[in-house]
A = this chain, B = another copy of it.
Amino acid sequence: MMKFLALCFFVISLISIPIAEARIRHYKWELKYEYKSPDCYKKLVITINGRTPGPTILAQQNDTVIVEVKNSLLTANTAIHWHGIRQIGTPWFDGTEGFTQCPILPGDTFVYKFVVDRPGTYLYHAHYGMQREEGLFGSIRVALPDGESEPFAYNYDRSIILTDWYHKSSFEQAVGLSSIPFQWVGEPQSLLIQGKGRFNCSAANPPMKADVCNNTNPECSLYSTTVVPGKTYRLRISSLTALSALSFQIEGHNMTVVEADGHYVEPFVVKNLFIYSGETYSVLLYTDQDPARNYWVTTNLVSRNATATTPPGLAVLNYYPNHPRRSPPTIPPSGPMWNDVDSRFNQSVAIRARKGHVYSPPATSDRVIVLLNTQNRVNGKTRWSVNNVSYDIPHTPYLIALKENLLHTFSQTPPPEGYDFANYDIYVNQSNTNATTSDAIYRLQLNSTVDIVLQNANMINPKNSETHPWHLHGHDFWVLGYGKGKFDPINDPKKYNLVDPIMKNTVPVHPYGWTAFRFKADNPGVWAFHCHIESHFFMGMGVAFEEGIERVGKLPSSIVGCGETKHLLKP
């Protein structure tokens, strides 16, 4: 019998070798500061193996991805979040400083290891301070297993990340944001398409030397993607802007939206795609236009009036065999008006789960948490708050604190479940000076169903309400509805879409509007939920959810070392 078993194992091991090898995706990255000129202006950026955006992670569903991250950032720490990957069973590898791990120190190599359990388009990026803005990000593309196919056909697959770009360092921006008086980061200097953009050096005031800004530097030649006429391209468009809401368009071409945040969308055609920081979309592009020329790819700011400060981002759709750097013969098309909120709202509503690929949400929820989004002043500082609590990230990660019973490291006063619905006027200047800061968390019943209602409102300044893209870690959620004005807890839930809601991980709440979604708290761990605008989260616009901490397995020692976790030293 033993011999037979040994033989079995031997045969199995022979069979499984090629499969097993295919299922581990091993990456070795070194993170460094380097001088780069993504928009022709030379500044320090964070590179991965010399590049920003970093390498695209390519994997198949259920593969294990291993990324060895060597931090060579001199005196700065880091942590990398795998955006859209739920980290089921590995909550300690979510890469969220203060939530799931201590930061990775200079000189250290941290090994992330997780399963990509769903096909689709995802992202990775720094999740520490405002470090994402320094260029530490990239794409994750998870394909279906061999033999399975998407519900739509295409010939080629491309990933394109959209970002906005600042010339000041993230340190300089963060210092301004936390200063009294407040120094806002301002509009970005340029928009980048797959890491390339164009700042007009000659218009700089005061002028810049050619070794600082040079529009002939090949490093800032526009991104150009070559297509063959008569084919279908899947373009995986994602946004990792620091601040900006964007519209994305390709001159002379429509796009068919087929995927959002890793879920299939009932296809619809757009001339321009609105996209918010943290979102990913797949669109199908048919290269059915005049092949004798190239076409502009453009992205421009919406939601904020930056037409005077931030030019549109440009790239080239290169029809083979035209030269990839040949400029299209036209003026780049302008996008929609920055203040056309209705069009953006309508696109949000249009995104539904694809027929035949609907995951039905639970019919009811166990708990409803309403989160009023406001801007406040706390101790003289300008901050963002939810329900008048401005969030502070602790430095003893929750996951370790909860597992190791270090409950004194964060506030045990539960954060509020809602706001003063009856009396709060979302259309007038936020004047509540009672906002407080807290690092308390929402503790959710494991496997319970939770509804979140994001309620937007006026900011401190009059007649202004901004769009906030909120991103949930560790889960996908069903988008139940978007509304204008104040959410009505009696009547609005009756209009929820329980039939074909799209599942997403990032969702905008529009100016003076509300957004409702539902999720199952079925992933043991501690998870961030926050506005994906880098400066907004830095200014307190986030919360934390915990569920099933008692079901979390043994923590790896690599995540400890900061805050109170130092006292876990062995005798």
Which residues of A come within 8 Å of B, CB atoms? Answer: 32-35, 44, 74-78, 98, 102-103, 105-108, 128-131, 169-172, 174-176, 179, 206-209, 394-395, 403-404, 554-555, 557-558, 560-563, 565-571
Q: Which residues of B contact A102 (CB under 8 A)?
A: 105, 561
Q: Check B571–A561 contact: CB distance below 8 A.
A: no
**Of the candidates B76, B108, B207, which one forms a contact with A75 in the assembled complex, judged by CB atoms under 8 Å apart?**
B76
CA distance A401 to B395 in the complex (A): 25
Most buried by B among A558, A560, A561: A561
Give the copy number. 2
Most buried by B among A32, A74, A98: A74
CA distance A34 to B557 in the complex (A): 34
Q: Which residues of B contact A208 (CB under 8 A)?
A: 206
**Of the candidates B44, B76, B129, B567, which one forms a contact with A172 in the assembled complex, judged by CB atoms under 8 Å apart?**
B44
Supposing A129-B74, A569-B569, A571-B403 touch, asked if A563 and B171 sit within 8 A by C-beta, the answer is: no
Q: Check B34–A562 contact: CB distance below 8 A.
A: no
Q: Which residues of B contact A169 (CB under 8 A)?
A: 44, 169, 171
**Of the candidates B75, B172, B403, which one forms a contact with A103 in the assembled complex, judged by CB atoms under 8 Å apart?**
B75
Q: Which residues of B contact A561 (CB under 8 A)?
A: 102, 105, 560-562, 565-566, 569
Chain A interface main SS type: loop
CA distance A98 to B105 in the complex (A): 12
CA distance A508 to B252 in the complex (A): 70
CA distance A545 to B108 in the complex (A): 23
CA distance A78 to B170 in the complex (A): 18
Supposing A561-B562, A566-B560 touch, asked if A44 and B175 sit within 8 A by C-beta, the answer is: yes
CA distance A78 to B76 in the complex (A): 9
Most buried by B among A107, A208, A404: A107
Q: Which chain B residue shows the least CB distance to A560? A: B569
Q: Which residues of B contact A33 (CB under 8 A)?
A: 171, 174-175
Supposing A105-B102, A106-B395, A108-B562 touch, asked if A175 and B35 sit within 8 A by C-beta, the answer is: yes
Q: Which chain B residue shows the least CB distance to A107? A: B395
Q: Which residues of B contact A171 (CB under 8 A)?
A: 33, 44, 74-76, 169
List 19 additional contacts besides A75-B103, A570-B570; criterion CB under 8 Å.
A33-B175, A34-B175, A44-B172, A74-B129, A74-B170, A75-B77, A75-B130, A75-B171, A77-B105, A98-B107, A105-B395, A107-B563, A169-B171, A206-B208, A207-B207, A557-B566, A557-B571, A561-B561, A569-B570
**What are 30 contact pairs spanning A and B, CB under 8 A?**
A33-B171, A33-B174, A35-B172, A44-B171, A74-B129, A74-B171, A75-B76, A75-B78, A75-B103, A75-B171, A76-B171, A77-B77, A105-B395, A105-B562, A106-B129, A106-B395, A107-B394, A108-B562, A169-B171, A206-B206, A206-B208, A206-B209, A554-B571, A557-B566, A557-B567, A560-B561, A560-B569, A561-B562, A561-B569, A568-B570
Q: Which residues of B contact A207 (CB under 8 A)?
A: 206-207
**Of the candidates B106, B172, B569, which one forms a contact with A557 in the assembled complex, judged by CB atoms under 8 Å apart?**
B569
Q: Which residues of B contact A77 (CB under 8 A)?
A: 75-77, 105-106
The 10 A-B pairs at the shortest CB distance, nearest first, are namely A107-B395, A561-B561, A75-B129, A557-B569, A568-B570, A568-B569, A105-B562, A560-B569, A555-B571, A206-B207
Closest Cβ–Cβ distance, residue A137 to chain B (whole Å): 15
Q: Which chain B residue shows the least CB distance to A570? A: B568
